[in-house]
Amino acid sequence: MEAASPAGPGAPQPQRQGAAGRVAGLLRRVKGKVFTWNILKTIALGQMLSLCICGTAITSQYLAEKYKVNTPMLQSFINYCLLFLIYTVMLAFQSAGSDNLLYILKKKWWKYILLGLADVEANYLIVRAYQYTTLTSVQLLDCFGIPVLMALSWFILYARYRVIHFIAVAVCLLGVGTMVGADILAGREDNSGSDVLIGDVLVLLGACLYAISNVCEEYIVKKLSRQEFLGMVGLFGTIISGIQLLFMEYKDIASIHWDWKIALLFVAFALCMFCLYSFMPLVIKVTSATSVNLGILTADLYSLFFGLFLFGYKFSGLYILSFTIIMLGFILYCSTPTRTVEPAESSVPPVTTIGIDNLGLKLEENLQETHSAVL
């Protein structure tokens, strides 16, 4: 006796549900792989920026210790000149419109003067602080810029954090504390500074200016363009650092006994700084200023590792532990997406990229929409 075949409109329901389940499972696997790949890419890009910062630190230390050359403003001036020659000139040759140099200067010149001033002085204040306070103070107080950056991102960029993000930041700062402890145990903290209070204030001001510069950078590269940010920073950074250079470092520059080794160190510093400025907007555009600043906390550790061979630093196992803790906090921060909440009525241009921080949420939304469509 033959079995009766199913009939009626409800018959295909099990097949449809099975197909929907298979599609949903496939999308979940794709989502997991994409998100994991983007986290790994974020880590790699962050460490590339750390190596650029490490290059600037090593060349500066070589100039200061071996050749007695201490001209931080001259070194920054060369970098701003390179940015001007590449990116500002690119803006000048843009066709007429919102991306043209003259249009930008006409509409937003005073904003970019303030941005250039913040960027130049942030670099200068941190370097100047080393003359007054200790290495430990600079390393610890420089981290003050991260909570300032998060607060500015909350109010200016409308970033919304979860509890895990604050835990991740705390883990990264714990790693910095471990690194400072390793410095003290290794005997690197041998300079008490001439005026610790002044030095500490300079570090805090520099960290705040860095935070302002980074938030402005994220705003511009996500809502406007990377070329506009770099071109305008190159233009006004060159002017501001050039004026400050003439008034504050002309005697130091005149006393330099130039040879090819010193010139090569200046070139190496300028190239590292130029790469840092050129690549950081690319990383910020797909992540956020906060995640980038957490990632580059390892820069001091890279400098210490190179210093073991170049400057005879003492090794400590705490350096490895510090690196591991910072990377753990960085991965923890990137593993959970942040949210961006735009105000109800805003004249701000729409964000052109969701960034890796928001990629998980976007994939989740797409997964739910596709699942619903299949059902």
DSSP 4-37: PPP-STTTTHHHHHHHHHHHHHHHHHHHHHHHHH
34 — pLDDT class (breaks 50, 70, 90): low
Q: Give pTM, 2 decimals.
A: 0.79
Identify whether 349 is part of a domain: no
**pLDDT class for 369, splitting at 50, 70, 90?**
very low
Structural domain including 69 reads 31-251+261-341
Tally of CB atoms within 10 A around 99: 16
The rounded distance, in Å, linking the Cα atoms of 208 and 110 is 20
From the number of C-beta atoms within 10 Å of its C-beta (0-12, 13-18, 19+), residue 248 rates as middle
Q: 335-346 burial, b for 16+ CB within 10 Å, e for fewer? A: ebbbebeeeeee
Residue 16 lies in a domain: no
pLDDT band at 346 (very low <50, low <70, confident <90, very high): very low
Give the residues across from 340 on adjacent strands: 159
Cβ-contact 162, 335 below 8 angstroms: no
Of 156-160, 316-320, 342-346, 359-363, the least confident = 359-363
For residues 27 and 370, is the Cβ–Cβ distance under 8 A?
A: yes
Tokens of 117: 């001033």
pLDDT band at 373 (very low <50, low <70, confident <90, very high): very low
Report the amino acid identity of residue 222. K
Residue 9 domain flag: no
Higher-pLDDT residue of 84 and 299 is 84
| 195 Cβ neighbours under 8 A, 6+ residues apart | 132, 133
User: Are 367 and 28 contacting, i.e. CB atoms less than 8 angstroms apart?
Assistant: yes
Domain count, the chain: 1
- Angle 98-286-151 from CA coordinates, rounded to 5°: 90
**CA–CA distance, 32 with 67 (Å, rounded to integer):** 52
pLDDT band at 260 (very low <50, low <70, confident <90, very high): very high
Position 268 scores a pLDDT of 94
* Position 101 in a domain: yes
| Domain assignment of residue 11, yes or no | no
- Stated as kind and residue range, the H or E segment containing 301 is helix 299-310
Cβ–Cβ under 8 Å, residues 328 and 171: yes
Domain-embedded: residue 368 = no
**pLDDT at residue 189 greater than cutoff 70:** no
Calpha distance 186→310 (Å, rounded):
16
Which of 129-133, 258-262, 367-371 is most confident? 258-262
- Is residue 225 helix, strand or coil? coil
Q: Is the residue at 24 inside a domain?
A: no
Q: Is residue 321 in some structural domain?
A: yes
